[in-house]
Amino acid sequence: MSADARPWPATRELARRIAETRPAEVGPSARARAREAVVDTLGVALAGAAEDCARLALRLACEEGAGPRSAVWGAAERTSHSWAAFVNGTAGHALDFDDVDWVMMGHPSVTLTPALVALAEERGLGGGPLLAAYAVGFELLRVLGRALNPVHYRRGFHATATLGAVGTAGACAHLLGLDAERARHALALAASEAGGLVSNFGTMTKPFHAGQAARAGLVAARLAEMGFTAAADALESGFTAAFAAEGADWEAAARGWGPPWDIEEGVCVKIHPCCAMTHPGIDAMLDLCRREGIRGEEVEAIGARASSMTLKVLRYRLAATGLEGKFSMPFCLASAVVDGRVGLPQFEEARVRRPEVAALQERVEFELDPELARSAPESERTEVWVRLKDGREFRASEERARGHIERPLAREELREKFLECAAVSLPAERAEAAWEGWWEVERAAEIRALTALLRPA
């Protein structure tokens, strides 16, 4: 592009596509995948509602005096729609158990779902429009990811927070039925609300990123609906300059908009409640220990080799807390060897500090894979090895974790995960009712009947 050529008008064109997409254009396959993503998000939020960051978010919402109009999942309290999006988004990301998309390079559903559910509650809308809006929001997140990544992530920005705010604004604009002009204002306003740093991983601020993005997107769409204005070129000018200095080919990124919708590929669902970059290593270690019959007391040392991105994101050499453990390959591998699983209990504070896990963490070598550093710096691939006290050594590697879109979970596995998570906040019968109700969300005439199931009886 010449120096005086105008960039492709991404803000205007994306807003037009959002406004012109009719819910009926989002077919059964896209809606089914959107439903799976929404239900999984509800489950992990019900588990995350008990975490300190979620409880503090709810405390702030209550102290702010927000009107009791929208459900807080896993709690008796109600709050305003924007505060509900914030609290539920924070809870949904509190355990880092929510889904991932590798094009966005972030967590799509934990920003989209809380905002869309709160907005559907407010407007008395049903499940069909909600799922269609999710598909549109996911499509927009993929466009943003193709345009800005991997430069955006390499510069230290957390895409869940930055891209999530804009993607959620687009989804909410669609659910509200905004015209192209108002949808454009919503996207541009959300672009100014976007922010979030990878350096805050392993702290309460990472789940704050998700809650803030959900709230920002909802607020941007509602303000735009009221007539709030923003720049006509926010994405292709300021957003690109701030978040991806090498520029962005927005036209190419948006070329595939529409059927078949990107959500039809699915999202990567987690089976371990920790950073997705740990999952190939965890799966490889678990498989290796099962195959060779390895027991923790036999192990002399363990190790892993992974990509540049994996080492950057997993920033804790030794984990002192559960939050740090979610971003520590040594901790996750030590837990896999000692316990034979890496689930919710492994990140409880008392279990993190167990002597046998702490001792094994000290004997983990976590290093860069030179070949991946050269050829695939964002690769998920991880190679692990175990050396036993008798001198024997075993190796294994994994390209894609279970739950990846190339290795999807069956419905029964999704159900088991949902019920395990929901049990943290709901009695068993109510958790079952929530699963059944939300699995049939498209049939719901009003979302309010289903959000009631997410609160303790």
Chain segment 363-385, per-residue pLDDT in tens? 999 999 999 999 998 899 999 99
Q: Cα–chain-centroid distance for residue 84? A: 17
Please state the rounded mean pLDDT for residues 265-286.
96
Which residues partner with 305 through β-bridges? 367, 383
Read off the pLDDT of each residue in 15-32 and give the average, rounded to a whole number: 97
- How many residues comprise the chain? 457
Residues 79 and 61: beta-carbon distance below 8 Å: yes
* Domains of the chain in sequence order: 10-269+426-454 (1.10.4100.10), 276-398 (3.30.1330.120)
Per-residue model confidence (pLDDT) at position 457: 76
Residue 230 CA to residue 414 CA, distance in Å, equals: 41
Per residue in 327-340, pLDDT (tens digit) is: 999 999 999 999 99
Nearby residues of 429 by Cβ (< 8 Å), 6 or more positions away: none
143 token code pair: 């466009």
Using an 8 Å Cβ cutoff, are 333 and 285 in contact? yes
What mean pLDDT is predicted for residues 401-410?
Answer: 94
Strand duo 78-79 + 299-306: pairing: unpaired
Share of residues in the chain with pLDDT > 90 (%) = 91
Query: Given this model, what pLDDT does residue 2 score?
Result: 44
Give the pLDDT confidence score for residue 5 in this predicted structure: 63
> In this structure, which amino acid lies at residue 178?
L
Q: What is the mean pLDDT of residues 16-40?
A: 97
On the 0-12 / 13-18 / 19+ scale of CB atoms within 10 A, 362 is: exposed
How many C-beta atoms lie closer than 10 Å to residue 2's C-beta?
5
pLDDT over 90 (residue 291): yes
pLDDT at site 1: 46
So what's the pLDDT on residue 67?
79
pLDDT(245) > 80: no
Per-residue pLDDT, averaged over 180-209, amounts to 96
Which stretch of DSSP H or E encloses residue 220?
helix 205-226
51 by DSSP, 3-state: which?
Answer: coil
Q: Show the CA angle centred on residue 267, arms to residues 166 and 138, nearest 5°.
A: 25
pLDDT-based confidence at 69, cuts 50/70/90?
Answer: confident
- Whether 4 has a pLDDT exceeding 90, the answer reads no
> What pLDDT is recorded for position 282?
97
CA distance 89 to 70: 13
Q: What is the C-alpha to C-alpha distance for residues 44 and 343, in angstroms, rounded to an integer?
A: 12
**pLDDT tens-digit series, residues 80-98:** 999 999 999 999 999 999 9
Phi-psi category of 272—alpha, beta or left, where left has phi over 0 and alpha has psi -120 to 50?
Answer: beta
Q: Report d(CA 48, CA 199) in Å as an integer.
A: 22
Q: Tokens 């008395």 label which residue?
A: 124
In contact, 441 and 32? CB cutoff 8 Å: no
What proportion of the chain, given as a percentage, has pLDDT over 70?
98
Instruction: Write out the H or E segment, with its range, that includes residue 280.
Output: helix 279-292
Q: Which DSSP string corresponds to 165-205?
A: HHHHHHHHHHHHT--HHHHHHHHHHHHHH---BGGGTTSTH
SS3 of residue 385 by DSSP: strand
pLDDT value of position 189:
98
- Contact between 186 and 220 (Cβ < 8 Å): yes
Rounded mean pLDDT of the chain? 94
